[in-house]
Amino acid sequence: MKKDIAGMIKRADRFKVILIGEGILVGLVAGAVVILYRVALEYAGIWNGKILEYASQGAVFMAAWMAVLAAMAVAVGKLTSWEPMISGSGIPQVEGEVVGKLSQNWIRVIATKFIGGFICMLAGLALGREGPSIQLGAMAGKGVSRGLDRGKTEEHFLITCGASAGLAAAFHAPLAGVMFSLEEIHKNFSVSALTSVMTASLTADILSTIVLGTDSVFRFEIDSTLPTGYYWMILILGLILGALGAFYNWFTLKAQELYGKIKVGGSWLKMMIPFICAGLLGFTFPELLGSGHDLITRLTHTDMMLGTILLILAGRFLFSAVSFGSGAPGGIFFPLLVTGGYIGGAFAAAGVEYFGLDPVYVNNFVLLSMAGYFAAIVRAPLTGIILIFEMTGNLNHMLSLSVVTVVAYITATLMGSRPIYESLLDRFMEKHGPADGMGEGVKQKILDSFVVAKGSEPDGKTVKDVSWPDNCLLVSIQRGSQELIPRGKTRLAAGDIVVTMSDERDMAAVHEKMEALCGDLMKRGNI
């Protein structure tokens, strides 16, 4: 494939068609990888339960399992030292790659992330599969791109497709996969991105359905829609979730800082902390281990006391922070949903006990709290709403979900809390810096697109009057179905899609400046 500028622009004109076919291919490959990962983790969770049951028979067996856990910690520490890109959930690394800040070795990441995630789940760490699934899917998309010899511009689309397919296969939520990848990863809702991502996500979900069936991740029993008379409680819950979401982000970063102060022993010593904690909890409080799926089932299917809910909530919150802060390969996506569910459960239990809430609506608040907590932490409200909708398959909760999500989102924003994955990406860049020679040489030309937001600097100005970033060229302006050639007197308007071209080495800086230039006021921190 020609990689000269003219050829790249000509090919970009046909992206809408080209990326549909490539999206199907990425969906198949990424879906297969994530399905294997999902099955492996399910077996790891089952084996962990059986091992703990057997080891609980005597002190010798307990000591033996603790020794095995220590060996696992060393192994995972060695893996993360050899391939730092697999630490944590992997979502920040994918975001960094799409904006040109990082470059991952897709073969090494898939292999080590798979092995490391399996070991962590076998040990019982409080980590999720969804973040790693997104990274695995994204790297599968990168592998397809390299196999087809695509350029960097197209590769970023395929990475986004893979991320969407990964979430769809992991959660059985294709629409949430589409929305998350566009809202959080790609940060662009262009037609090319939407069609390709949707194709990949649906393909992966169909493949997951064929292999694993149609069962949803959570099975909520919600008998009735929450009456409007209880909406005052939703507003209060949204405020609480926004504040606790901001606290979660602060605490997660603080946990990483504390681990960073451990200067001896390398990564294996840091890993030893969560693995040994998992062993101790396995013999004292095994409910806190693993992804937390059983905890949600228990919360929504049994009548739990407020004190019990608060105890599990506190224990789960702390163990999740200990697990993730170490840099172990595993995500916070699913664990934060579990934590959010227990916040809602505690809120509902208090409402039943003190404010006359009908117990039939307890599960409603569990559901709402998951979406609101997710929106406050990740700052992707649409994804949160759609994800919970796909989990329940019920449109009757859309209004209440929207209210709690918006309130939580605004509360966290006003408290000055940054989206967690952006913060984690900054931390990762500070620690590891660019990878694989990023920034060395001109390499390829890359096309990128940005939506002009209402009230942004370009809105209402002519092209010549806008302070565009250095080292980039305006290629075109897309306005609805029209494509305009940028001229000095061309006046920009909100909703226009500005397409830029830059060298690969300059992409990250150009992307960051263009996001700040064209982004909405709230995103730029002015509101």
CATH number at residue 504: 3.30.70.1450
Structural domain ending residue among the three candidates 396, 426, 456: 426
Same domain, 250 and 166: no
Q: What single string gives the DSSP state of each residue in 22-74?
A: HHHHHHHHHHHHHHHHHHHHHHHHHHHHHHHHHHTT-HHHHHHHHHHHHHHHH
For residue 500, the enclosing domain spans 439-518
Statement to judge: residues 204 and 105 lie in one domain: yes
User: What pLDDT is recorded for position 452?
Assistant: 83
Do 444 and 319 fall within a single domain?
A: no
In the chain, the number of structural domains is 3
Both structure tokens of 429 = 């860049």
Same domain, 286 and 388: yes
Which of 411, 334, 346 is CA-nearest to residue 372? 411
Cα–Cα distance measured from residue 514 to residue 466, given in angstroms and rounded to the nearest whole number = 11
* Contact yes or no for 137/30 (Cβ under 8 A): yes
Q: How confident is the model at residue 281, as a pLDDT?
A: 92
**Are residues 501 and 416 part of one domain?**
no
Does residue 275 lie in a domain region?
Answer: no
Last residue of a domain, one of 426, 458, 476: 426
Q: Which of 361, 396, 426 is the last residue of a domain?
A: 426
- 474 domain residue, yes or no: yes
Residues 205 and 330 in one domain: no
Tokens of 435: 């990878």
- Residue 316 shares a structural domain with residue 452: no
- Contact residues for 457 (Cβ-Cβ < 8 A; gap 6+): 466, 467, 517, 518
- The CATH number covering residue 101 comes to 1.10.3080.10
Are 406 and 464 contained in the same domain?
no
| 107 inside domain | yes
Tell me, yes or no, whether 38 and 145 share the same domain. Answer: yes
Same domain, 100 and 11: yes
Residue 243 belongs to some domain of the structure? yes
Query: What is the structure's pLDDT at 362?
Result: 87
Look at residue 443 in the predicted model and tell me its pLDDT. 62
421 and 443 assigned to the same domain: no
The list of the chain residues with pLDDT below 70 reads 1-17, 186-192, 216-221, 223, 265-266, 391-395, 433-443, 481, 520-527
User: What region does 105 belong to: left with phi over 0, alpha with psi -120 to 50, or beta?
Assistant: beta
Residue 194 shares a structural domain with residue 241? no
